[in-house]
């Protein structure tokens, strides 16, 4: 069967689930093969906005009952209750369960759903909303090649996807790509604010910062791009960029970032322990 016909059910219809569903529709997935269980009527209405043929409801069991692929897209805090609800249900044999919840481990999924359930844990990120997401996947031992391919199909609908073998690295992934967009947004906010302080009109500041960020990201995404070399090539000795970078280095930007990402990694591990 074509991937585009696979029955994919979502438990939780919030932002991430909608981003994935929108990506699947863009990739040509059959809308009638998508279903979502979501408690909030206003959120369900947004799914009808994605496509009128998507089946929506508030009953997790109904969606789980006929999904070949079940995507768990709820907050980690509600995962224990949702897993407890799914544990006793008859679900299709070989159903692939994909969890996008931060910190929820494959062991936690196996404890509730059974060790024989093929499960894939995914850490997506927010640019999934615009089809430029970065998803990192890790699979339980019982996921076969077809299951990996299905999981990749779902994850790649929102951008790029890559596999890791070592699940213990997922907290570091969360710190880098999961939380990462916020670091870049903060840098852009701070640059915009400073640009205004330096006298630029707000709309000019906004355009300069955002186009510069987009341009730098595109240059860094070129095949074989070396970001250190790109930086060096705009940094003439004694020039303006060198003056700015000297301040950032003197003020300890490297150490600050190291502490920030380490804090995110450690918080991810802590949240995972409480979700488990």
Ligand X SMILES: NC(=O)c1ccc[n+]([C@@H]2O[C@H](COP(=O)([O-])OP(=O)(O)OC[C@H]3O[C@@H](n4cnc5c(N)ncnc54)[C@H](OP(=O)(O)O)[C@@H]3O)[C@@H](O)[C@H]2O)c1
Contact residues for ligand X, defined by CB under 6 A: 11-17, 37-40, 43, 60, 73-76, 78, 81-82, 100-102, 123-126, 178
- Using alpha carbons, list the distances in angstroms from residue 26 to 34, 140, 143, 150, 158: 13, 28, 26, 16, 9
**Angle (deg, nearest 10), helices 106-113 and 79-87:** 30
Closer residue to ligand X in complex, CB, 33/37? 37
Instruction: Closer to ligand X by CB, 45 or 81: give it.
Output: 81
Q: Measured from the CB atom, is 10 or 195 closer to ligand X?
A: 10
Q: Which residue has the closest beta carbon to ligand X?
A: 14
Torsion of CA 138, 82, 21, 45, to 10 degrees: -160
Among 111, 20, 118, 115, smallest CA distance to 68 is for 118
CB of 79 to ligand X, least distance (A): 7
Residue partners of 217: CB distance under 8 A and separation at least 6:
none
Pick the closer one to ligand X by CB: 31 or 80.
Answer: 80
Closer residue to ligand X (CB): 74 or 172: 74
Question: Rounded to 10 degrees, what is the CA torsion of 188, 190, 195, 201?
Answer: 80
Q: Which SS3 state, helix, strand or coil, does residue 135 take? A: strand
The total number of residues written for the chain in this structure: 276
Nearer to ligand X, 15 or 235 (CB): 15
- Min dist CB 276 to ligand X, Å, is 14
- Residue with the two structure tokens 């186009």: 211
Q: How far is the CB of 224 from ligand X (least distance, A)?
A: 29
CB of 157 to ligand X, least distance (A): 15
Q: Supply the minimum distance, in Å, between the C-beta of residue 145 and ligand X.
A: 25
Report the relative pairing of strands 55-57 and 96-99 from DSSP bridges.
unpaired
Helix (H) or strand (E) holding 244: helix 240-250
CB nearer to ligand X: give 70 or 123. 123
Provide the minimum distance between the beta carbon of 68 and ligand X in the complex, in angstroms, as a whole number. Answer: 19
Coil, strand or helix at 147? helix
- Closest approach, Cβ 149 to ligand X, in A, equals 22
Element spanning 8, H or E: strand 8-11
Place of tokens 């438990």: 11
Nearer to ligand X, 95 or 195 (CB): 95
Q: Smallest gap, in angstroms, from Cβ of residue 150 to ligand X?
A: 19
DSSP state of 132: -
CA-CA distance, 88 to 64, in Å (whole number)? 11
């Amino acid at each position: 069967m074509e991937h585009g016909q696979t029955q994919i059910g979502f438990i939780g219809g919030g932002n991430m689930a909608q981003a994935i569903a929108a990506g699947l529709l863009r990739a040509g997935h059959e809308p009638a093969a998508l279903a979502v269980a979501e408690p909030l009527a206003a959120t369900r209405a947004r799914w009808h906005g994605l496509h009128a043929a998507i089946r929506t409801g508030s009953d997790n069991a109904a969606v789980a009952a006929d999904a070949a692929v079940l995507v768990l897209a709820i907050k980690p805090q509600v995962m224990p209750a949702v897993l407890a609800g799914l544990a006793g249900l008859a679900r299709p044999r070989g159903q692939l369960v994909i969890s996008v919840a931060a910190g929820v481990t494959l062991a936690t999924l196996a404890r509730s759903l059974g060790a024989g359930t093929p499960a894939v844990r995914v850490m997506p990120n927010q640019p999934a909303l615009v089809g430029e997401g970065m998803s990192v996947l890790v699979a339980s031992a019982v996921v076969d090649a077809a299951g990996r391919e299905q999981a990749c199909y779902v994850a790649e609908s929102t951008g790029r996807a890559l596999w890791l073998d070592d699940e213990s690295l997922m907290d570091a992934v969360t710190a880098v790509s999961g939380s990462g967009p916020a670091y870049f947004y903060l840098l852009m906010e701070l640059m915009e604010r400073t640009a205004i302080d330096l006298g630029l009109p707000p709309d000019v500041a906004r355009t300069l910062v955002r186009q510069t960020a987009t341009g730098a990201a595109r240059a860094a995404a070129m095949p074989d791009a070396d970001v250190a070399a790109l930086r060096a090539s705009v940094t003439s000795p004694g020039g303006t960029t060198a003056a700015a970078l000297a301040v950032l280095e003197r003020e300890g930007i490297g150490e600050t970032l190291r502490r920030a990402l380490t804090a995110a990694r450690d918080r991810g591990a802590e949240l995972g322990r409480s979700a488990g």
